[in-house]
Amino acid sequence: MATPNALVSQYVQDVKELDSYLTGSAITINGSTLTLSQIAAIALYPPSSSPNSVKIQLTDDQHVKAKVSASRAVIESKVAAGISVYGVSTGFGGSADTRTDDPIALGAALLQHQHAGVILPTYAPSSSTAIPTLSSFDSNAFPSPAPLSDPFTSTTMPPPWTRAALLVRANSLMRGHSGVRWELVQKMAELLNKGVTPVVPMRGSVSASGDLSSLSYIAATLIGNPGIRAWVPLPHPSSAIPSTFSTPLSTGTSSPHSSPDLSPFSASTPLPPSADTLDLPTDTLKVDNHGSYALLPAPQALQIAGITPLPLSSKEHLGILNGTAFSAAVSALVVRGARGVSVLGAVLTAMSVEAMLGAKGSFDPFVSEARPHIGQIHSARLMHNLLAGSSFASEHDVEVKIEDDAGVLRQDRYSLRTAPQWLGPQFEDLAHAAQVITTEVNSTTDNPLIEPPSASNNQTGQVHHAGNFQALALTNAMDHVRLSLAHIGKLMFVQLTEIVNPAMNRGLFPNLAGGEVGLDFAFKGVDIAAASYVGELNALGGMNVGVGNVSAEMHNQSVNSLALISARYTLTALEVTTLLAASHLIVICQALDLRALSEELRESLPGLIRSSLTNTFPSLTDDTTSALLVAAIIPALTEALDRTTTLETNTRMYKVASACVVPLVTALSISPVQGAELSALSVFIASIAAGLVDKLTELRCAYLGVQPFAVRGASLSAEGAKVAWRGPAPASKYLAPRTRALYEFVRVTLGVRMHGAGNLRGDVFGMRDGLDGEDGTIGNGVSVICEAIRDGRVGRVVVGMLEGIEGL
């Protein structure tokens, strides 16, 4: 069994567990064992036409059902006996000094005052009689302005949040502490399994007496309140249904012939129904793997789904509302994603080590054993294993004499060398947050709590008035997760910007240009965008929502956790970190390709030097002497190649070739080359420079899939030249077997190619790729990777990379 802080093993288990549900394994809830993976499966994969559609089933454990029945019996007995019970005969919160003997009407009044959330645009009917305030003012004389943001999506919770909250609340009510009927839990499960998802306001909860307002919209949907709207999947085939809608840039009602696609689970959601009722053919609705959806008043939504509304009984209105389900649900989805991003951060660090020719030795077990924080140990072990077998990452820094060490950075920079010490605390905090949230979703968060009859309460049951609805445990967890995401993002950003920067990237082209550096600025824009992402993360990570407090509800709710607000901000941080991770990954892949290209260029140096020596100095026939000359020249050429990457190719290679003059002349002093032959040094330099230009051009063409004759400014001699494309993943042979999997996933599976072909060809300096070329924009590539992180495909690759690593 994994240790409490073993975040990596938690993550691997989570990915595998989720996949098991997506392939048909049942999800059974019993009030005590709900997992983050189960919440994600229900929230993110609504019912569809797939035979493996994810659904939940309630436990058939009679002990669980008996506890619920016993709890309900306590409420019914006290109501029958005329005993005053909070929320059954009293008002709520600061109004608990009022009394009533009508618990059903009281529950309805609870829902009524909590339905105060704002959802735009409204579909409430307007008054037929206008009362103008100024006789000269004509309200119809002005056009409606375009909204600054989508009114609907900016004021309502995404359906996955609501589905997750429904699941969490049902799981809590099953615990037998809430005084509700088993039928209520069954009805909530039916909503989930038939895909009916209430539209819930984004804001309005202080998460002190639970998420009252948010949960009231779930309660209203269960009873079929016509003032509440819900998403409902449509049957296939289906007839026209009554529905209405507005266009994204209009507050008016459009015709049925201009209907937008409607799907609450797609990337963008149009505005909801407006005032008029239209017949909307189902073939105008979006059809994807989640089916077709309509946005309807709750009674119609329930009718289409074949669900009978459930009139609530005494205490059940409060039983639904008085809990932390929305705060816990969003937190569960967020911490699950944050766990994945943190593990990906370690994977990207390992790949950055390869891209930067760093040292695997930074992650040697000896280092972490000397400072045994569990997070540091696990992150270092992970990265050390990921780098096994890499041609680019050295085991340790090579020991050299002092005189041979001048001007060399003896160790990797902090972003690589201290990554375990940086990521380790985040691993620990995120593992702890996941534990806190898992506890919360398997808890009872009502007030009052109903204790079934027992010897300790004279077999009459006990009503406990307390405060399990106070969600500060979630707030603290989310505040810490948000800070951890900011730290992880900071590390990604620094690694990214060092890889792009020619002053730090150990010989790679500036901005990772695939074409000519003066006309290809490649990933400079990504570097700038990443700075904006990390700037936003810094602001989000610096927030401490938990210390904010605003007294609410007649000062009864005098301390408020604001957990849902913290979870929302943390979700924003997760989304920004995902953008940063995708940017980092595309940069790493480009850097690995260029590193492989540079490695091949260096591998060609001995043959190029030997050929130029033979052609320039005819008296140089001794192979041993030639080998000594080659060995003497290569260090100077290699060093010059590393420090001249910002120069245009022809200028650069002449400068590189000139760097070999001193070591060559020194070495020639003990060779057969004498007298007049030494005057051919300029010929030798020109030969080396030309050879380097040709070789670099050939490699660029091979890596980018461009023929030499198509290169901008190609000479006539290039007309007959042919170069074989190295394929989409030319760096594979140099990489560690584990890191190679993610690199090839990006390059081969996602089809995000090495950048620079358009720039090398000079087709409007790469701009055509953004219009009708095969590569698309750089941003498109980042977007493709970002989507693969979001939908779990990258996670599955990462889990495969981790197989067989012990001790995580």
Residues whose CB falls within 8 Å of the CB of residue 621, separated by 6 or more in sequence, listed in order: 672
Three-point CA angle 734, 736, 740, nearest 5°: 85
Q: Name the token pair of 751.
A: 């089809």
Residues whose CB falls within 8 Å of the CB of residue 715, separated by 6 or more in sequence, listed in order: none
* 594 in Cβ contact with 548 (< 8 Å): no
Q: How far apart are CA 619 and CA 626, in angstroms?
A: 11
* Residue 45 known to be catalytic: no
Residues whose CB falls within 8 Å of the CB of residue 445, separated by 6 or more in sequence, listed in order: 172, 210, 322, 323, 324, 325, 328, 468, 469, 471
Neighbours of 510 (CB within 10 A): 20
| Residue 462 β-bridge partners | 451
Q: How far apart are CA 657 and CA 684, in angstroms?
A: 9
Q: How far apart are CA 531 and CA 536, in angstroms?
A: 9
Neighbours of 209 (CB within 10 A): 26
Q: Which of 782, 356, 731 is nearest to 527 (CA)?
A: 782
Q: How far apart are CA 690 and CA 684, in angstroms?
A: 10
E strand segments, 61-104: none
Which one is catalytic: 86, 293, 703, 734? 86
Q: How far apart are CA 752 and CA 552, in angstroms?
A: 51
Neighbours of 48 (CB within 10 A): 16
Q: Residue 389: left if φ>0, alpha if ψ -120 to 50, beta else—which one?
A: left
Three-point CA angle 650, 653, 658, nearest 5°: 125
Q: Which of 550, 647, 584, 653 is nearest to 794 (CA)?
A: 584
* 736 in Cβ contact with 363 (< 8 Å): no
* 264 in Cβ contact with 189 (< 8 Å): no
Q: How far apart are CA 211 and CA 209, in angstroms?
A: 7
Q: Which of 646, 644, 643, 640 is nearest to 664 (CA)?
A: 640
* 293 in Cβ contact with 285 (< 8 Å): yes
User: If you ran DSSP here, which 8-state letter would residue 600 be given?
Assistant: H
Amino acid type, 297 = P
* 383 in Cβ contact with 351 (< 8 Å): no
In terms of DSSP bridges, do strands 56-58 and 27-29 run parallel, antiparallel, or are they unpaired?
A: parallel
Q: Name the token pair of 477.
A: 């967890």
Q: How far apart are CA 581 and CA 586, in angstroms?
A: 9
Positions marked active-site: 86
